[in-house]
Amino acid sequence: MTAPRSRIQQKNREAILDAALEVFSAHGYRGATLDQIAEVAGLSKPNLLYYFPSKEIIHRALLTGLLDTWLDPLKAMDAKGEPVEEILAYVRRKLDLSRDFPRESRLFAGEIIQGAPRLSTVIEGELRRLVAEKAVVLSAWMDEGRIARVDPVHLIFSIWALTQHYADFDAQVRMVLGPGHDPFAEAGGFLDTLFRRLLTPSA
């Protein structure tokens, strides 16, 4: 049986993971080093290695902790709800994640760009099953004439692309918009209009 962590151990572990998130999201997996993570965490490298023996293990711990946060918004789409409002609520939840967890979004994006070497099992398993399950719900709403007919899986892809963009390309968005803009507030209104028009059935 593993002994419970002390308060100091838990604090150091959390400091390492937060520092690693900062470093990985800024430099990617290949560009990040244990020395950088230790420096940001305010710990010596030997101390860091006491908690996490390798960069790979730190990275896996971050990704594992991120998955539930990333999947929960789609899981919350309710087949018994009003279709357009359920989809728009999902869009808002994904946009909120991009606003509140930009480093996590960039960490996830970096992993996918590399071919998802540490997430392929989850993506081909749990995520694929979840998307298939929600595609069935979306298709049923289309068959009932409650939303316009579009490809359900690519609808989900488009929501990912149009919400996570604001985290993954935050610098570009803010440079193009210029000062005085709130990208997420403006995006929320735009995406609501975009998807509402897309999904409303023709008269």
pLDDT in tens, 103-137: 989 888 888 988 988 888 889 999 999 999 999 99
pTM comes to 0.86
CATH class of the domain defined by 64-199: mainly alpha
145 pLDDT band, cuts 50/70/90, is very high
Residues 6 or more apart in contact with residue 63 via CB below 8 angstroms: 107, 108, 111, 118, 119
| C-alpha pair distances (Å), 115 with each of 68, 101, 108 | 20, 22, 11
What does the mean pLDDT of the chain come to?
93
pLDDT tens, residue by residue, 32-71: 999 999 999 999 999 999 999 999 999 988 888 888 888 9
Q: Where in the chain is the domain with CATH 1.10.357.10?
A: 64-199
Where in the sequence of the chain do the CATH 1.10.10.60 domains occur?
1-53
Kindly state the average pLDDT of the residues 168-178: 96
Average pLDDT over residues 175-202: 96
> What is d(CA 165, CA 2) in angstroms, rounded to the nearest whole number?
41
The span from the CA of 43 to the CA of 63, in Å, is: 22
What pLDDT shows up at residue 45?
Answer: 94
Which are the contacts of 10, defined by CB distance < 8 A and separation ≥ 6?
A: none
Q: What is the CATH number of domain 1-53?
A: 1.10.10.60
